[in-house]
Amino acid sequence: MRLTLVRHGITTWNREGRWQGHTDTPLSPEGEAQARRLAVRLRHAHFDQVWSSDLQRAQQTAQLALPGRTPQLDPRLREVHFGQYDGHTYAENRVHPEFEQWQQDSWTQAPPGGESLRAVGERARAWAEQLTDGQEVVAFTHGGTVRALTSLLLAWPTAAQPGAALPFPLRLLHASITRLVREEGRWALETWNDIGHLERWAGAAD
């Protein structure tokens, strides 16, 4: 089974640096353009199943990237629930009295009113493990969710990163493609953060 994970296109809050865990923000015009570039990239791809987070930025990305396909929605594919930190910038959140302690171990500790990164990975893994062998599956989801899921599936380290809110040293850009394959119950990484379709030269003749 090959699993293609797509991070949603960019939103206005993303550009402003605002955390938008479960806040249901739409794509910005730039994000819609990114999703249309995805459509060019995926126009010849075959997927047996199409899934999406139930948040609109992921759904919009799916609808623009795979026109004519209706994704199955699953809240387990949602972004991290940032609780009281949601809607604020990193600078604004840093003054919160519990922020520094949470940042030192955001993998196992939940922010006030939110959920830990491990909890995000566990709910996403529960979704991924029930997928049928032998199929091509695509899921439109979120940056924190992709990184939490792959960290669990591939046993990646989750140590705190100095100056970063989340414990992931690998960058994951908007509208990027990450592919995993599961063979005999074991997961392997094929592609990480592929944004070839967003390069200036990509699809220039389309």
Any catalytic annotation for residue 8?
yes
Which amino acid does the sequence have at 6?
Answer: V
Q: Closest Cα to residue 203, out of 39, 9, 62?
A: 39
Phi and psi (nearest 5°) for 97? Answer: -60, -25
**CB 94, CB 24: distance < 8 Å:** no
In angstroms, the CA 101 to CA 109 distance is: 9
Lookup result for tokens 């009295």: 97
Cα 115 from Cα 169, distance rounded (Å): 20
> Coil, strand, or helix at residue 65?
helix
79 is annotated as an active-site residue: yes
- Active-site hit among 30, 32, 46, 79: 79
DSSP per position, 134-178: T-EEEEEE-HHHHHHHHHHHHT------TT-SSS--S---TT-EE
> So which residues are the catalytic ones?
8, 79
